[in-house]
């Protein structure tokens, strides 16, 4: 549950509903047309999912689609993209051209355009049109019940006859989006309703659940509150003790990560005399220094303080990204928070002691006042009894009446004296009860303090995990993309994150990064065992493996030679890279399977 600053119920998280992060991890990417579909969401505006063709007669260019399909409908709050479309044709006969780009969402099984993302034109005469969106960020969107989202770009031209000149190009440089966290439901006190774009749950005045949408998913979570909701409208023990937030840590490391890892606008670049990039200054005044092998070295803030340090191996491979500023500040912030908890405990105990003393003083004052009243009454009775003893009584009847009256005075004085004892007993009982209540509150303060420290420890662990994620993610993604040609799955990603020690920044099992790094070079474990076929040929079958052949009786690589390759790939795959030398910085050609065809 989540409470506002006044300790009032603000909302609740339903674990049965996918949060935004899990929804992103579980989505399915689909690419159609063109080449290198993954590069439309790699965070690099210089790479793209594209098709680009030109020539004489007949058609050139085409359409590309870059899609994301969700396991259950989502709400999208922001979209960012950069797209390019071009078509041109000159000729005499059967001229046709079209160029367009748009973002589309699928709702209830139907694709529909997102307003503001569409540009399109076509013609059947000579023409030349170009659309370049630049980098666009659309925030504050409310796109609900989205089953899938895609970027679609077309650049195509066609012509017949010998005098034709046609060309078409379609590029998706970047295509990304932000999901609303549908697992969080805000609470409306007036209507007793939890709701968001995913659904709603309504309760009556007694806190009983009366209706729920998306019942198969939401009911288990909101059934648990039925009958007890009213007990949680105000934070339990809100007046007692809460753990303070670690001031500044969250915003500090988030700003550092944003400055270092996001593609913020670059305003200044400095180069050496030989043309090597040395520094980049961004709009937020952070400065990135580069290594002599043209990779990020350190990130400094506007005052020159070290925010992020990039660490490389001897082979110039990224090993670690250290959020230096976040790590330096975290211990002091945690210590300050612990002192806040301790100081608040001391203050609470001191205030409790003061209230106890005030209660004791009040009890003793009331005791004194009550005893004084009784003693005054006893004094009056005694005075009246003394006066009666001075009265002369004659005769039997008078003497008996006087004796009876004196006896009544004595009885009244005795009863009043007993009241003093009762007052003392009541005060003693009250003091004993006060001790019990104060001890209970002292124990509660101690328990709340321990709980606050435990919450702080969880908060510290979560912050450390976030720092680790920001530090290790670039390494994990770089190795997976360089070695396996894909991003890690959510399970793989969490596997590596869980094995990094915060203090050392290294994996604390024998596998660690050594496993990922070992994939860079063939070994007995990850190299394919070649099978020699008839003649001078090798048959090779494997996945994510390497083939290494040295000089032997069948093969000699000392002089000029020719390598002929035959590929057999599983049909039906939408996209599969068999070898991508260009994309992975190795030079040479790329070989991939698209739509069951070798390219």
Average pLDDT over residues 452-466: 82
Based on the number of CB atoms within 10 Å of its own CB, is 532 exposed (0-12), middle (13-18) or buried (19 or more)? Answer: middle
Residue-level pLDDT at 514: 54
Share of the chain above pLDDT 90, in %: 22
Query: Is pLDDT at 576 greater than 60 in this prediction?
Result: no
Within a domain: 102: yes
- Give the end of a domain, one of 471, 504, 536: 471
Query: Is pLDDT at 257 greater than 60 in this prediction?
Result: no
Residue-level pLDDT at 78: 95
Within a domain: 511: no
Residue-level pLDDT at 347: 87
Residue-level pLDDT at 381: 82
User: Using 50, 70 and 90 to split pLDDT, how confident is the model at 563?
Assistant: low
Average pLDDT over residues 305-326: 75
Query: Are residues 415 and 340 part of one domain?
Result: yes
Query: Is pLDDT at 481 greater than 80 in this prediction?
Result: no
Within a domain: 558: no
Residue-level pLDDT at 255: 45
Query: Is pLDDT at 495 greater than 90 in this prediction?
Result: no
Query: Are residues 360 and 314 part of one domain?
Result: no
Query: Are residues 168 and 33 part of one domain?
Result: yes
Query: Is pLDDT at 57 greater than 80 in this prediction?
Result: no
Segments forming the whole domain that contains residue 322: 249-327
Query: Are residues 279 and 139 part of one domain?
Result: no
pLDDT digits (tens, 9 = 90+) for 276-298: 778 877 767 778 888 887 788 88
Query: Are residues 111 and 85 part of one domain?
Result: yes
Token pair of 546, please? 């390497």
> By C-alpha distance, which of 170, 156, 168, 157 is closest to 90?
157
Token pair of 104, please? 């589309």
User: Using 50, 70 and 90 to split pLDDT, how confident is the model at 585?
Assistant: very low
Token pair of 143, please? 């796109």
Task: Report the alpha-carbon distance of residue 267 to residue 528 in Å, rounded.
Answer: 48
Query: Are residues 360 and 458 part of one domain?
Result: yes
CA-to-CA separations, 179 to 25, 140, 183, 341, in angstroms, rounded: 12, 11, 11, 36
Residue-level pLDDT at 354: 86
CA-to-CA separations, 272 to 269, 275, 291, 391, in angstroms, rounded: 10, 5, 12, 126
Query: Are residues 374 and 313 part of one domain?
Result: no
Query: Are residues 360 and 419 part of one domain?
Result: yes
Average pLDDT over residues 351-378: 86
User: Using 50, 70 and 90 to split pLDDT, how confident is the model at 561?
Assistant: low
- Give the end of a domain, one of 418, 451, 471: 471
Residue-level pLDDT at 573: 45
Average pLDDT over residues 505-531: 46
Share of the chain above pLDDT 70, in %: 75
Average pLDDT over residues 358-364: 86
Residue-level pLDDT at 12: 87
In contact, 264 and 252? CB cutoff 8 Å: no
Contacts of 71 (CB under 8 A, 6+ apart): 18, 23, 26, 27, 28
Tally of structural domains, the chain: 4
Residue-level pLDDT at 122: 94
- Give the end of a domain, one of 452, 471, 490: 471
pLDDT digits (tens, 9 = 90+) for 377-430: 888 888 888 887 887 777 777 778 778 878 888 888 888 888 888 888 888 888
Query: Are residues 342 and 438 part of one domain?
Result: yes
Average pLDDT over residues 156-181: 90
Within a domain: 569: no
User: Using 50, 70 and 90 to split pLDDT, how confident is the model at 153?
Assistant: very high
Within a domain: 133: yes
278/7: higher pLDDT: 278
Instruction: Out of 63-77, 249-263, 376-390, pick the least confident.
Output: 249-263
Within a domain: 579: no
Residue-level pLDDT at 569: 54
Residue-level pLDDT at 550: 65
Contacts of 478 (CB under 8 A, 6+ apart): 318
CA-to-CA separations, 240 to 237, 342, 349, 446, in angstroms, rounded: 5, 14, 12, 11
Within a domain: 137: yes
Q: Is 351 helix (H, G, I), strand (E, B) or coil?
A: helix
Residue-level pLDDT at 265: 64
Residue-level pLDDT at 553: 62
Query: Are residues 366 and 274 part of one domain?
Result: no
Residue-level pLDDT at 245: 42
Report pTM. 0.41
Average pLDDT over residues 69-80: 94
Query: Is pLDDT at 574 greater than 60 in this prediction?
Result: no
- Bridge-based pairing state of the strands 296-300 and 306-312: antiparallel
Query: Are residues 149 and 84 part of one domain?
Result: yes
Q: What does the DSSP assignment read for 517-571? A: HHTTS--TTTB---EEETTTEEE---SS-B----S-SS---SS-----------T
Average pLDDT over residues 445-468: 83
| DSSP state for residue 480 in the 8-state scheme | I
Residue-level pLDDT at 247: 40
594/436: higher pLDDT: 436
User: Using 50, 70 and 90 to split pLDDT, how confident is the model at 236?
Assistant: low
Q: Which single residue is written with the structure tokens 């260009």? A: 582
Q: What does the DSSP assignment read for 180-200? A: --TTEEEEETTTTEEEETTEE
Within a domain: 531: no
User: Using 50, 70 and 90 to split pLDDT, how confident is the model at 273?
Assistant: low
Residue-level pLDDT at 93: 82
531/332: higher pLDDT: 332
Residue-level pLDDT at 179: 93
Q: What is the CATH number of the domain that holds 47?
A: 2.60.120.260
Query: Are residues 459 and 442 part of one domain?
Result: yes
């Amino acid at each position: 549950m989540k409470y506002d600053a006044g300790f009032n119920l603000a909302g609740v998280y339903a674990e049965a509903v996918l949060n935004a992060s899990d929804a992103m991890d579980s989505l399915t990417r689909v690419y159609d047309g063109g080449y290198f579909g993954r590069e439309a969401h790699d965070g690099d505006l210089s790479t793209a999912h594209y098709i680009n063709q030109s020539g004489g007669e007949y058609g050139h260019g085409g359409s590309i689609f870059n899609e994301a399909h969700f396991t259950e409908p989502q709400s999208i709050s922001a979209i960012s993209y950069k797209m390019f479309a071009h078509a041109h044709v000159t000729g005499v006969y059967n001229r046709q051209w079209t160029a367009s780009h748009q973002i589309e969402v699928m709702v209830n099984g139907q694709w529909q355009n997102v307003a503001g993302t569409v540009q399109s034109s076509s013609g059947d005469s000579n023409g030349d049109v170009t659309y370049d969106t630049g980098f666009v960020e659309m925030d504050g969107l409310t796109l609900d019940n989205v089953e899938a989202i895609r970027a679609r770009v077309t650049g195509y031209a066609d012509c017949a006859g010998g005098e034709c000149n046609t060309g078409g190009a379609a590029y998706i440089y970047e295509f990304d989006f932000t999901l609303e966290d549908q697992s969080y439901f805000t609470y409306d006190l007036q209507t007793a309703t939890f709701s968001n774009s995913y659904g709603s749950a309504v309760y009556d005045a007694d806190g009983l659940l009366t209706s729920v949408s998306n019942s198969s998913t939401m009911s288990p979570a909101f059934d648990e509150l039925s009958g007890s909701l009213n007990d949680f409208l105000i934070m339990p023990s809100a007046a007692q003790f809460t753990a303070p937030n670690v001031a500044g840590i969250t915003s500090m490391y988030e700003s550092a990560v944003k400055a270092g890892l996001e593609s913020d606008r670059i305003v200044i670049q400095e180069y050496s005399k030989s043309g090597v990039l040395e520094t980049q200054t961004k709009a937020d005044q952070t400065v990135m220094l580069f290594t002599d092998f043209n990779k990020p070295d350190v990130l400094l803030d506007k005052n020159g303080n070290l925010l992020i340090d990039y660490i490389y191996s001897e082979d110039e491979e990224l090993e670690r990204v250290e959020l230096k500023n976040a790590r330096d500040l975290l211990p002091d912030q945690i210590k300050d928070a612990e002192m806040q908890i301790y100081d608040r405990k001391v203050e609470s105990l001191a205030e409790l002691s003061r209230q106890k003393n005030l209660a004791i003083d009040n009890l003793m004052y009331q005791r004194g006042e009550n005893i004084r009243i009784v003693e005054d009454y006893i004094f009056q009775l005694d005075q009246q009894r003394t006066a009666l003893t001075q009265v002369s009584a004659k005769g039997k009847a008078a003497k008996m009446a006087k004796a009876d009256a004196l006896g009544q005075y004595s009885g009244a004085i005795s009863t009043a004296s007993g009241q003093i004892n009762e007052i003392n007993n009541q005060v003693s009982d009250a003091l004993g009860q006060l001790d019990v209540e104060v001890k209970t509150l002292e124990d509660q303060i101690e328990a709340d303090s321990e709980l606050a420290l435990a919450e702080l420890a969880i908060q510290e662990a979560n912050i450390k995990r976030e720092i680790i994620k920001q530090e290790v993610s670039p390494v994990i993604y770089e190795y997976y993309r360089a070695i396996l040609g894909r991003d890690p799955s959510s399970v793989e990603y969490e596997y590596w994150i869980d094995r990094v020690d915060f203090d050392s920044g290294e994996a604390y099992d024998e596998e660690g990064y050594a496993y990922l790094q070992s994939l860079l070079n063939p070994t007995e474990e990850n190299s394919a065992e070649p099978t020699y076929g008839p003649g001078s040929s090798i048959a090779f079958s494997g996945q994510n493996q390497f083939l290494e052949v040295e000089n032997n009786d069948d093969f000699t690589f000392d002089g000029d030679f020719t390598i002929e390759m035959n590929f057999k790939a599983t049909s039906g795959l939408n996209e599969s890279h068999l070898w991508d030398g260009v994309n992975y910085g190795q030079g040479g050609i790329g070989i991939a399977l698209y739509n069951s065809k070798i390219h």
